[in-house]
Amino acid sequence: MRVALIGYGSVARAFVRLLDEQKKRFPFRIAGAHTLRHGTAYGPELAFGPAAANVAEFLDKAQAEVLVELSSLAPETGEPALTHIREAFARGLHVVTANKGPLAHAFAALRAEAAARGVEFRYESTVMDGSPVYNMVRNCLPGVRVLGFSGALNSTTKIILRAMGNGRTFADGVAEAQSMGIAETDPSYDVDGWDSAVKAAALANVLMDANVRPQEVEREGIRAISAEDVRAAGDAGEQIVLTSRAETLPGGGIRMRVRPERLPIGDPLATVQGTSNLLLLHTDLMGTLGTISIEPRVEQTAYGLLSDLVDITRTL
């Protein structure tokens, strides 16, 4: 299966390395890659030359069967990924993405467009890297309704808060997250809770049929948290965690909140440190169950993309 990439940053490079390592086991081959400022490449060697005039030209020339969309997140709109995905659907390509923006802004429409075109749309890496969230619900929880969720889903803020707890500065924490390749292209999206709000909207749209936008999430980031706040929480046996929560309201509708919370050390959401993430799903038939990932790296995001590709081949 021929794979076109849009975006060639941390995730795309890890994904290309993974495909190369696993080429004897899996039949996926790179057809090309298109970027914003680094030009366009056609063929598996990824020799970048002048940029295609636009994504339509890239997709027409690359002649792929699936688009792996890995451009930067724009939390307010879901663009440019939203347009890229639609361009791919229009050409009969399946789409895999790690970009949560399109799910947070237009999931229901994209699902309908994919179905109308007879193509698959997969997005396991958008939340918690390659750990099963969407696939767990789809494949392992038939008949279960997700009523809400609670998550500690943003690695960059955990790293910043840990750095501050260890006597380092807020900026040191941002730099550490960037050096690990896990910060958003613009790290203020992590710090100000946008990443968590987009994840909450994406989860609510996919798992709860919510039809919400990130702007509807009550959002407070960690910018106002001081080193003194982190130390005071630690002294009280608590941990500051940027949480993402959703609940179905008694009268209908869904409330979603992102905010820093002081949680007792024993709270499941306070047990995940650094890049580790935890998501608890609150359901009707299965009570509360969760997914945890311990210190995932960008290689696990790449695995989530590979798992989506494998899943698509099973449908063909």
Residue 151 binds to ligand NAP (criterion: CB under 6 A): no
Q: Calculate the CA 170 to chain-centre distance.
A: 23
Name which position in 36, 140, 236, 265 contacts ligand NAP (CB under 6 A). Answer: 36
Q: Which two tokens stand for residue 106?
A: 């237009």
* Position among 38, 112, 231, 236 found at the interface with ligand NAP (CB under 6 A): 38
d(CA 120, CA 25): 22
Q: Which candidate in 23, 61, 158, 199 is catalytic?
A: 199
Stretch that binds ligand NAP, among 30-38, 111-119, 211-219, 225-233 (CB under 6 A): 30-38
The residue assigned the tokens 């359901």 is 283
Q: Which range binds ligand NAP by CB under 6 A, 10-18, 42-50, 109-117, 251-259?
A: 10-18
Segment near ligand NAP (CB under 6 A); pick from 69-77, 131-139, 233-241, 247-255: 69-77
Q: Could you tell me which of 94, 76, 75 has the C-alpha nearest to residue 85?
A: 94
Applying CB under 6 A, which of residues 4, 28, 62, 71 lies at the interface with ligand NAP? 71
Give the interface size with ligand NAP as a residue count (CB under 6 A): 27
Radius of gyration of the chain (CA): 19
Residue 68 burial (10 A CB sphere; 0-12, 13-18, 19+): buried
What dihedral angle (degrees, nearest 10) is formed by the CA atoms of 138, 209, 81, 43? Answer: 20
CB of 81 to ligand NAP, least distance (A): 7
- Reply yes or no on whether 199 is catalytic: yes
Closest by CA to 208, choosing from 281, 145, 137, is 145
Residue with tokens 């948290």: 225
Cβ proximity to ligand NAP, 37 vs 314, nearer residue: 37
Q: Which residues bind ligand NAP (CB under 6 A)?
A: 6-12, 34-38, 70-73, 80, 98-99, 125, 129, 181-182, 184-185, 298, 301
Active-site amino acid positions:
199
